[in-house]
């Protein structure tokens, strides 16, 4: 049910790997709401993923960019403005990767080269994107930048490993850069803290299935799906959230404010006989 919430708006969407990706759903939703977009992902993801299928559905061009390369991001800003015929109104940062998680290295035995890569790819990339956008003056006034986070930034979820630290930095960058971009250009920067979601990045976290069902049983509304998250992102790109910036917004069916649920208590009672 599209309402043309993004009619006349242009945007850049990072991180659509396959049809399960939150960025994939957000791209489809943005176009359905009247936006014109360009899609971008790391060159390796473009080779392995299915982004061209999405590009065809969205009538969008794909620009390769590694989010840890300032040169790639500078070129991305310039090319996006060329393709879209002007500055953009929104950017989705939907990027995450931890070599420690991928290699199932426990947090207490982290390889620190890997740790630095986790931070660079999953957190500092937001700073790089914002810096490249500001340098190229690529975002219109009242534009909106959204990055995706997870509650492990505030509470410990051991399987989430060094991604927890990356998300804490990501949320802090949204506040710090949001301050500067707000005063300078009235651009807003927020993070959305999403429920566990079955995607390539999500399922890579050890014990994801248990993690997912625990969160589902803890959340009064259940886990928020990728489609729901896409819709929430659209609201943040729209003019209905013009005065919201430097925030971390929980999109988690109520998980973050629930101490324990009756379903979890029942499970424990059953387990204890
Ligand atoms: N899936 C979940 O449970 C969940 C929950 C909360 C937050 N998130 C966050 O949502 C975002 C999107 O993840 P997803 O779940 O859709 O998984 P996904 O695997 O579909 O998306 C992750 C994307 O990051 C991209 N990426 C990795 N390294 C990159 C680089 N160097 N440059 C540019 N792009 C790069 C990948 O190519 C991929 O497209 C991530 O920030 C993730 O941490 C996911």
What pLDDT is attached to residue 1?
A: 63
Dist. CA 208 → ligand 1 center (Å): 15
What percentage of the chain exceeds 70 in pLDDT?
100
Please provide the CATH number assigned to the domain covering 10-271: 3.40.50.720
| Domain residue extents for the chain | 10-271
| Ligand 1: centre distance to CA 38 (Å) | 17
Is any ligand 1 atom within 6 A of the Cβ of residue 31?
A: no
Residue 44 alpha carbon, nearest atom of ligand 1: 37
The pLDDT of residue 49 is above 90: no
Taking the C-alpha atoms of residue 111 and residue 206, their distance in angstroms, rounded to an integer, is 17
Q: Is the Cβ atom of 22 under 6 angstroms away from ligand 1? A: yes
| Range with lowest mean pLDDT among 121-135, 159-173, 204-218 | 204-218
User: What is the mean predicted confidence (pLDDT) over 156-167?
Assistant: 95
Of 121, 114, 107, 117, the residue nearest 152 (C-alpha)? 107
Looking at ligand 1, which atom is closest to the CA of residue 16? 39
- pLDDT for residue 200: 85
Res. 55: pLDDT tops 90: yes
Which of these, 211, 204, 208, 199, lies nearest to 100 by C-alpha position?
204
Residue 96 Cα, ligand 1 centroid: separation in angstroms?
4
192 Cα–ligand 1 center, Å = 13
Per-residue pLDDT tens digits for 205-262: 878 888 899 999 999 999 999 999 999 999 999 999 999 999 999 999 999 999 999 9
The pTM of this model reads 0.98
Atom of ligand 1 nearest to the CA of 202: 1
Alpha carbon of 58 to ligand 1 centroid (Å):
20
């Amino acid at each position: 049910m599209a309402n043309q919430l993004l009619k006349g708006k242009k945007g850049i969407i990072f991180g659509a790997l396959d049809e399960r990706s939150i960025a994939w759903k957000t791209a489809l939703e943005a176009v359905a709401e009247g936006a014109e977009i360009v899609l971008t992902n790391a060159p390796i993801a473009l080779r392995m993923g299915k982004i061209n299928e999405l590009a065809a559905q969205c009538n969008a061009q794909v620009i390769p960019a590694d989010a840890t390369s300032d040169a790639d991001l500078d070129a991305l800003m310039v090319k996006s403005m060329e393709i879209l015929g002007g500055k953009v109104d929104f950017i989705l940062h939907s990027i995450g990767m931890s070599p420690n998680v991928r290699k199932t290295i426990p947090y207490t035995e982290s390889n620190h080269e890997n740790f630095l890569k986790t931070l660079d790819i999953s957190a500092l990339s937001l700073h790089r994107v914002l810096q490249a956008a500001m340098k190229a003056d690529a975002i219109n006034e009242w534009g909106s930048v959204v990055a995706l986070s997870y509650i492990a930034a505030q509470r410990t979820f051991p399987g989430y490993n060094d991604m927890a630290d990356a998300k804490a930095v990501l949320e802090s960058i949204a506040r710090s850069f949001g301050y500067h971009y707000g005063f300078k250009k009235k651009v807003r920067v927020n993070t959305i803290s999403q429920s566990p979601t079955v995607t390539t990045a999500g399922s890579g976290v050890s014990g994801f299935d248990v993690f997912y069902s625990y969160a589902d049983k803890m959340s009064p509304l259940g886990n928020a799906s990728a489609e729901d998250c896409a819709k929430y992102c659209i609201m943040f790109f729209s003019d209905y959230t013009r005065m919201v910036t430097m925030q971390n917004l929980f999109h988690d069916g109520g998980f973050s404010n629930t101490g324990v649920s009756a379903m979890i208590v029942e499970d424990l009672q059953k387990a204890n006989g």
